[in-house]
Amino acid sequence: VNVAILGFGTVGSGIYEILKTNKEQIAKKCGEEINVKYILDVRDFSSHPDAHLFTNDFNVILNDDSVDLVCEVIGGIEPSLTFSRESLLKGKSVVTSNKELVATNGTALMKCAKENGAVYLFEAAVGGGIPLIRPMYRCLAGNNIKRIMGILNGTTNYILTKMFDEGQSFEDALSDAQAKGYAERNPAADIEGKDTCRKIAILSSLVYGKSINCDLIETEGITNIDSDDVKYAEKAGGAIKLVGYSEVSEKSVYARVSPMLISGGNPLFCAKDVFNAALITGDNVGDVMFYGPGAGKLPTASAVVGDIIDICMNANAFMSWDEGADSDVDLSGSAKCGALVRVALEDAAAVKEKYADALKIEGVKAGECAYLIPSMTVSESKKIKCIKVILTEENYVIC
């Protein structure tokens, strides 16, 4: 099987390394050798030991009929979209880690793959190295998946962990995550929640069976989280995580991305540093937790290589969902949640009056306190007169 790697950045170089290092085991599993025939990159790799593999002309790859499979790990929309579509039109299967492309153009690319006898797979697009998409899509196929709660961005989880466990500043933790190769080229997509939004859109689309428009998913990142929030969260026996949340019914999907206070009793609490975790609730299986490294060179490349091997071994490998409509996204705000609400002392009585079962947390900052409110609707949470609201699960349990 001849493979071309499009993009020799963090993930692309990881794929090459794994295919080279584990060549024999992979060949044994596939029944045939996986041979990297080309690496596409616009940069100069003339001093690379395998310089002969590099090209900056995509047409060389496209017009070589011996290339069976293309790994698109360039990222972003263009030229990734054009390269992926043209490869599929020629019957070459495409595997990718490109969540932006899958979230925005996945429906069309999967359709194009099907029409041309090829496959479009994207295990690495959500959860980095965690086997998540295929197990959720296939092994949990006997369930109606009701809810997904996911820590789906390694960079923000790394930052929040450093803020909680080491009292590090947001800026230092972000620089560290960038240096380790976790962050996007423009880390705004990480810290503002856009990356998580794309990932929860992909998972929701797979579960719902129709594409969910990520532009309709209400998205808040972690740039607003400060050291006082950290103290309140600790007093409440939890930690703040950036969560992609989705409730899926037959009729619609309610989804959001927001910082959430996660109780010490919730399995998601244990996902720290660059680790991702997804807690999936099926009607038959109950809660299932997927956990592992959510970003980084070799973990992400491991998932891409898994897709390559799946295509080689399994003639029926495929993923798909149908075209969706904006009405598939529930924008009513009627979903239930709990909340940690920071209020100025003069507004505290009004909150207590409205939510008699709210639990008061004091002693973090002069002139304010916080309430843990067990249950309300998401739209209600936006109407409280307060300093800040951090959502929790409904009926948050203090540990």
Q: Which residues bind ligand HSE (CB under 6 A)?
A: 128, 153-155, 182-184, 190, 195, 294-295
Residue with Cβ nearer ligand HSE (102 or 337): 102
Pairwise CA distance, residues 4 & 87, whole Å: 11
Pairwise CA distance, residues 158 & 172, whole Å: 11
Pairwise CA distance, residues 63 & 383, whole Å: 58
Residue with Cβ nearer ligand HSE (184 or 310): 184
What residues act catalytically?
199
Angle at which helices 23-30 and 10-21 cross, to 10° = 80
Residue with Cβ nearer ligand HSE (274 or 361): 274
- In what helix (H) or strand (E) does residue 103 lie, and over which residues does it extend? helix 99-115
Residue with Cβ nearer ligand HSE (14 or 154): 154
Q: Which residues pair with 71 in a beta bridge?
A: 5, 95
What residue type is assigned to position 201 of the chain?
A: A
Residue with Cβ nearer ligand HSE (11 or 340): 11
Angle at which helices 80-89 and 99-115 cross, to 10° = 20
Q: What is the DSSP letter of 210?
A: B
Distances (CA, A) of 50 to 225, 283, 298: 46, 51, 19
For the beta carbon of residue 328, count every other beta carbon within 10 angstroms: 19
The CA-based angle 346-394-221, given to 5 degrees, is 75
Pairwise CA distance, residues 98 & 124, whole Å: 8
Pairwise CA distance, residues 81 & 102, whole Å: 9
Pairwise CA distance, residues 221 & 195, whole Å: 10
Helix (H, G, I), strand (E, B) or coil at 305: helix
Pairwise CA distance, residues 242 & 153, whole Å: 8
Pairwise CA distance, residues 188 & 197, whole Å: 13
Closest residue by Cα to residue 24 from 14, 36, 32: 32
Residue with Cβ nearer ligand HSE (238 or 294): 294
Q: Is the peptide bond before 79 cis (omega within 30 degrees of 0)?
A: yes
Residue with Cβ nearer ligand HSE (304 or 358): 304
Shortest-Cβ-distance residue relative to ligand HSE: 155
The CA-based angle 258-164-300, given to 5 degrees, is 65
What residue type is assigned to position 262 of the chain?
A: I
Residue with Cβ nearer ligand HSE (154 or 374): 154
Pairwise CA distance, residues 132 & 126, whole Å: 7
Please report how close the Cβ of residue 348 comes to ligand HSE at its closest, in angstroms: 37
Helix (H, G, I), strand (E, B) or coil at 374: strand
